[in-house]
Amino acid sequence: MKRLLILPIIVLFTIAFVQTSNANVLIEDARINSDFDGGGLTSGFIDSGSGRGGEYELITCGIDTDGPNPFNAPSPGSWNEIDNSTCFQPNCQLGIWGRFTASQSSEEITCSWGDDSLGFVAASIRYSSVDTDNPIIDIGCSEPDGNNIIVPAVSSEPGAQLATIQLLRTPGDSPSDADIMFDEFSATFIERVNLGNDRILTMLGTSNFDENGEGFPGIVLPIPTDIFAAKICIISLRMQPAAIPTMSEWGLISFAAFAGIAGFWFIRRRQLAA
């Protein structure tokens, strides 16, 4: 009798869970890479990272150049462009792309561009449980405004990932070692290349689990005197919604609910009649 009493409660919780749950966006892998050539580069590569089939790959590539040469589409594969623009000042370029992959293995992805660049920096993050229909919630990239750099607000949703990518061209001739750390909820990385002539090209990045969907509020920064050029982009990735039951599954749920509730009332009638 106790089992019959518990059954309708279980069914109600099951229905509520199916209607409201979402799969949190989690990090599966992260990679970085850099290259330098005194004669100039027109391409560089970044590993996409490994995981399970159906996951979302985000890659970002940065170069040092004065030319108006937005990146070509990465290859191989079909990538959706998220950002492809120059820094402020226009001494560096940042490209960001994303795609879903059926492969479990890491793949070497090539970024290419027009004018020669002395240096190349890149990073990738691979995510699970990203919405396959509409992966990007919002994106905001920095723009100059007088003596300031404005990074706009970026909206988010509970269970999303909030990724921040920074490309900087700064003074210096002895960059620190590259570093990357990640777990399923967050990632941080830094990749640098020495360009010579007191110049360093740096890519910084983070990705953090946005449990409550707080997003990014936006910020206004004074243009720093110790940075030659900069670009900052913030991207929020939408979590995959819960699967909707099929008609046959709804039929089983309805039957279980009916059987449990009918059993409950049967017991109640017997108790009252006793």
Give the tens place of pLDDT for each residue, 175-192: 778 999 999 999 999 999
* CA angle, 175 then 81 then 25, to 5°: 80
Please determine, for residue 219, whether its predicted confidence score (pLDDT) is greater than 50.
Answer: yes
Residue 98 has what pLDDT? Answer: 98
Please determine, for residue 92, whether its predicted confidence score (pLDDT) is greater than 70.
Answer: yes
Greater confidence (177 vs 216) lies with 216
Residue 254 has what pLDDT? Answer: 53
Please determine, for residue 34, whether its predicted confidence score (pLDDT) is greater than 80.
Answer: yes
What is the value of pTM for the model shown?
A: 0.82
Q: Which residues contact 34 (CB under 8 A, 6 or more apart)?
A: 44, 119, 120, 121, 122, 178, 191, 192, 193
Please determine, for residue 97, whether its predicted confidence score (pLDDT) is greater than 60.
Answer: yes
* Residue 95: band (very low, low, confident or very high) from pLDDT cuts 50, 70, 90: very high
Please determine, for residue 17, whether its predicted confidence score (pLDDT) is greater than 50.
Answer: no
- Residue 61 pairs with which residues in a beta bridge? 95, 122
What secondary structure letter does DSSP report for 224?
P
Q: Which residues contact 100 (CB under 8 A, 6 or more apart)?
A: 54, 55, 56, 57, 130, 132, 135
